[in-house]
A and B are shown apart, each in its own frame.
Chain A
Amino acid sequence: DAGVIQSPRHEVTEMGQEVTLRCKPISGHNSLFWYRQTMMRGLELLIYFNNNVPIDDSGMPEDRFSAKMPNASFSTLKIQPSEPRDSAVYFCASSPGTYSEAFFGQGTRLTVV
């Protein structure tokens, strides 16, 4: 398996634009996580899906953020409208189940100018 695949690797966008980040988890994993990492706040869990169903989205910072998982092999994180303070590295991770290790993608470095 190629591991967790995220796209794009880098995204530079202007404030107010919509940004969509994409993630393909490892086949057979039933848990998917979206994280945001910044120097100031460290690694923050944004949302957790289990079997394609959002279980915990309490980490989603604002209504500008939304995430979907239409099927077991694809998830998106959308920011609309984007703001400079959204600049961060966004990671997607998948896991074969609870009490298991997480496998991370390479991340998307988002810069909002």
Chain B
Amino acid sequence: SQQGEEDPQALSIQEGENATMNCSYKTSINNLQWYRQNSGRGLVHLILIRSNEREKHSGRLRVTLDTSKKSSSLLITASRAADTASYFCATESNYQLIWGAGTKLIIKP
């Protein structure tokens, strides 16, 4: 089942620009996670933010969580060609990870 809704569905930006992706969800959560999937590969975990956290950083990644609005954003700063991939949010609730449809990010050189 899918709960998260990523926005936008696709995003194309120039290398060096920042990329922002959003995720909305419906039910209460224990945590929210972001994953990256390169074409033809498995998903790779990027960052996990717990329901009592509001912001988290990891390298060029910044994630925010607003539980009152049931939404999260993933910011990738100073994008690189290697960031080209699909990005998924997943909400963890009752042991399950519930996935969104993903945002396809293309970084143009």
Tell me the A residues contacting B by CB distance below 8 Å. 4, 31, 33, 42-45, 48, 50, 55-56, 59, 91, 93, 98-107
Query: Which residues of B lie under 8 Å from residue A106 when comparing CB positions?
Result: 41-42
Beyond A48-B95, A91-B43, A102-B97, 9 additional pairs, beta carbon < 8 A = A33-B97, A43-B2, A43-B43, A43-B102, A98-B92, A98-B95, A103-B45, A105-B42, A106-B41
Contact of A55 with B97 in the complex, beta carbons under 8 Å: no
Contact of B1 with A45 in the complex, beta carbons under 8 Å: yes
Contact of A56 with B96 in the complex, beta carbons under 8 Å: yes
Query: Could you list 7 examples of A-B contacts with CB < 8 Å?
Result: A42-B2, A43-B99, A100-B48, A102-B33, A102-B45, A102-B97, A104-B42
Question: Which range contains the number of B residues in contact with the other chain?
Answer: 20 to 34
B20 CB-CB contact with A under 8 Å? no
Which of B44, B50, B97, B102 meets A42, CB within 8 Å?
B102
Tell me whether A104 and B99 are in contact in the complex, defined as CB-CB below 8 angstroms, given that A42-B2, A45-B1, A99-B92 are known contacts: no
B101 CB-CB contact with A under 8 Å? yes
Query: Which residues of B lie under 8 Å from residue A104 when comparing CB positions?
Result: 42-44
Which of B33, B95, B100, B101 meets A31, CB within 8 Å?
B95
